[in-house]
A and B are shown apart, each in its own frame.
Chain A
Amino acid sequence: MEKLNIEGRLIGPGEPPYVIAEIGSNHNGDMDLARRLVDAAVEAGADCAKFQSWSKRSLICKAEYERNTEYADTHRHFGTLEQMCAKYQFTETQHREMADYCRERGITFISTPFSAHEADLLEGLDVPFFKIASMDVPNLPLLEHIGAKGRPVMLSTGMSTVGEVERAVAVLREAGSGPVCVLHCIAVYPPRYADINLLNIPMFQDVFDVPVGFSDHSRGTAIPLASVAVGACVVEKHFTLDKDMKGWDHWVSADPADMAEIVREGRNIALALGGRRRVLCADEQAKKLAFRRSAVAARPLTKGAVLAMDDLDFKRPGTGIGPDEAAYLVGRTLARDLAEDEEMQWNDLL
């Protein structure tokens, strides 16, 4: 299996999970907020800050804007679709600003391109890999265009069948992409638990022989942490400073405490998975002496007595004769008197 190498950080089985703080449109069009989000992502320990490279013109067609002018949920939607896209779009200048800021703060800058033009812009900003959104799994022209740039690719797979993922990976590779990582993703915000199917993660890894990650849209940290436990090499989650902020995705995003927990506990889980081989660590070896049991006299016993099973009791500590050795005690003769509850040793027997 080919791991990804992103600015020296390896991504794949056995490596610590690569955490992507998806800022997306959570900057609400405000670059000060964007910078504070990057700062918070750095502080939480995320490996990567991700944006979205679409413009009002490149993503949605005119007729669709005309069809979407009113929304019931005004906390998330402040105006028409067109007005919101105009505000939240990420301009070329803003791209450069945020790429520089991320570099300065020491966190990888990535953005998902939604058109060939945006992919070219990102190539110009020297992004270390390309992220492709779930909605573009069937966008074969875009996949070819991005694949030809020869960089590693992370492909989200929400809404897609296995065949569509298979085709997308084939097209990317045939176009010349670098190593590919597939992100299991349910494109519902948030999905029902029974619809998440985290077991798709080891399935994709097994069948496609690529590193597989998880793009999470659940509420909270349990599901992304569980994804690490089933083998996700990448965890991506929307990121906000405040889940109650106005805007599209803040409510299903991780806040700084959530993101820090995902980073910290994700690493702990990856370590805790360990291996299949049963190995006793030194601490456990030592514990046997205190936690197991040793043979003691069940009642006062006299020298010369022939031991029967009911003369024996087994209590902590485990420094003496274990209960699994009782067969070697029964029928033996005591060499000295033993008080009730006194520990028995081998040289107490004739």
Chain B
Amino acid sequence: MSLNKIVHVGDKFVGDGCPCFTVVELGVSHEQNVDLARDFIRQAKASGADAVKVESFQADDFAFDKTLTHTYGTADGPRTENYYAMLKRLELSYDDYAKLKQEADEQGILFFSTVHNSANAQVMQDMDVCAFKIASSDVTNLPLIRDLAKRGLPVFMDTGGAYVGEVERGIREFEAQGCENLILMHNPLGYPAPPDKTDLRMIPSLKALFDVPVGLSCHTPGFDMVVAATALGANAMEKPITRDRTLPSPEHIFAFQTEECDEFVFKVRNTEIALGGKRRSSVPSGSYARKTRRGVYAAKAIKAGETLSGDNVVFGRPLKGIPVELADEAMGMTLRRDVGVHEPINWKDLE
């Protein structure tokens, strides 16, 4: 059993040689407002993103220590919240997610969810999501990995904070259970991730290690890392969307605002176009000959019988006579005819 290098997600293909799969993450920036989330979905479709993703966690399923806190960056500085309370205020119900799936279907954009246990996965599968996602903290959740591997859908796996060995073990579990479609997501840790802990080179490293598509879950404010990761070969790009990035909530600081969604997709596509191929494509095709460089021109009026030298010759455009790279050969030769100022000089004018 071996994992595919190109993974089919919905009607799209993800992997080297395919366009980078852009994902607008609705996750935890919907403010528990289904209409706002619908807006995000419509915007994602209008901007040409490939998919929208939701979180569908139900906090009571796993957040058992009610004293835990979570600290994250906001526009006004770091903020610490009770973890359980925070999750509860970022939750939507399964009914709400069904409405969002319906919106995505009506818009014609792919829809998938991060899932946290089998029941969660089942609900989302019944809603007909195109893929599952596993959060970074679940890279060691072998029971969850085994469950998802058997469901026949492609899986995106975040790898934030994981040793190579943990990712490797997760991959072996997927393979052992018959899953062939896995996409790893490099996930720099931090809310937001500081530059020196962003480690974008993990993207090509993960590809070298595991030969599967590798994307970026972007945790950096702005689009710099979106461009950099695309240039490094990221096969997928996920970033949260928000109404207002100054809101005091965990992922808003590194989200893009609704009106920036076009730019998010554009940054990826434009970088891909700019990367081009290895050989220069700016040489006019169909011809190796060159006319656009400089040639030998008379710097001043020169009479027949005079010899060419640095004093009476200048290199100008366009190339009409002797090309500049052959100028050395022409120096010291004698003109057969008078040449006017700024007239191109040809071999046949010399002896």
**Which A residues are within 8 Å of any B CB, using their own CB?**
167, 170-171, 174, 206-209, 275-278
What is the bound-complex CA distance between A209 and B168, given in angstroms? 31
On whether A276 and B208 interact (CB within 8 A), knowing A167-B288, A170-B288, A174-B286, the answer reads yes
On whether A275 and B211 interact (CB within 8 A), knowing A167-B288, A174-B288, the answer reads yes
On whether A276 and B211 interact (CB within 8 A), knowing A167-B288, A170-B288, the answer reads yes
What is the bound-complex CA distance between A209 and B211, given in angstroms? 20
Q: Is B210 an interface residue (CB 8 A)?
A: yes
What is the bound-complex CA distance between A275 and B168, given in angstroms? 16
Q: Is B273 an interface residue (CB 8 A)?
A: no
Contacting pair B279 A278 (CB below 8 A):
no
Q: Is B119 an interface residue (CB 8 A)?
A: no
**Dominant secondary structure of chain A at its interface with chain B:** helix
Beyond known contacts A207-B279, A276-B208: 4 more, CB 8 A cutoff: A206-B278, A276-B211, A277-B209, A277-B210
Q: Which residues from chain B contact A174 at a C-beta distance below 8 Å?
A: 286-288
Closest B residue, CB atoms, query A171: B288
Number of inter-chain CB pairs below 8 Å: 22
What is the bound-complex CA distance between A170 and B127, given in angstroms? 54
**Dominant secondary structure of chain B at its interface with chain A:** loop
Chain B interface extent, by class: 10 to 19
**Which B residues are within 8 Å of any A CB, using their own CB?**
168, 208-211, 277-279, 286-288
Q: Which residues from chain A contact B208 at a C-beta distance below 8 Å?
A: 276
On whether A207 and B278 interact (CB within 8 A), knowing A167-B288, A170-B288, A171-B288, the answer reads yes
Q: Which residues from chain A contact B278 at a C-beta distance below 8 Å?
A: 206-207, 209
Closest A residue, CB atoms, query B207: A276
- The smallest beta-carbon distance between A161 and chain B, in angstroms, is 14
Closest A residue, CB atoms, query B280: A166
- The smallest beta-carbon distance between A334 and chain B, in angstroms, is 30
Q: Which residues from chain B contact A209 at a C-beta distance below 8 Å?
A: 277-279
Contacting pair B211 A277 (CB below 8 A):
yes
What is the bound-complex CA distance between A331 and B277, given in angstroms? 61
> Which of B208, B277, B279, B287 is the most central at the interface, judged by chain A CB atoms within 10 Å of its CB?
B279
- The smallest beta-carbon distance between B291 and chain A, in angstroms, is 16
10 contacts between A and B (CB under 8 A): A167-B288, A174-B286, A174-B287, A174-B288, A208-B279, A209-B278, A209-B279, A275-B211, A277-B209, A277-B210
Closest A residue, CB atoms, query B171: A277
What is the bound-complex CA distance between A167 and B289, given in angstroms? 10
- The smallest beta-carbon distance between A234 and chain B, in angstroms, is 21
Q: Which residues from chain B contact A208 at a C-beta distance below 8 Å?
A: 279
Q: Which residues from chain B contact A276 at a C-beta distance below 8 Å?
A: 208-209, 211
Q: Which residues from chain B contact A170 at a C-beta distance below 8 Å?
A: 288
What is the bound-complex CA distance between A267 and B210, given in angstroms? 25
Q: Which residues from chain B contact A206 at a C-beta distance below 8 Å?
A: 278
What is the bound-complex CA distance between A209 and B278, given in angstroms? 8
Q: Which residues from chain A contact B209 at a C-beta distance below 8 Å?
A: 276-278
What is the bound-complex CA distance between A259 and B210, given in angstroms? 37
Closest A residue, CB atoms, query B286: A174
What is the bound-complex CA distance between A181 and B287, given in angstroms? 21
What is the bound-complex CA distance between A208 and B280, given in angstroms? 10
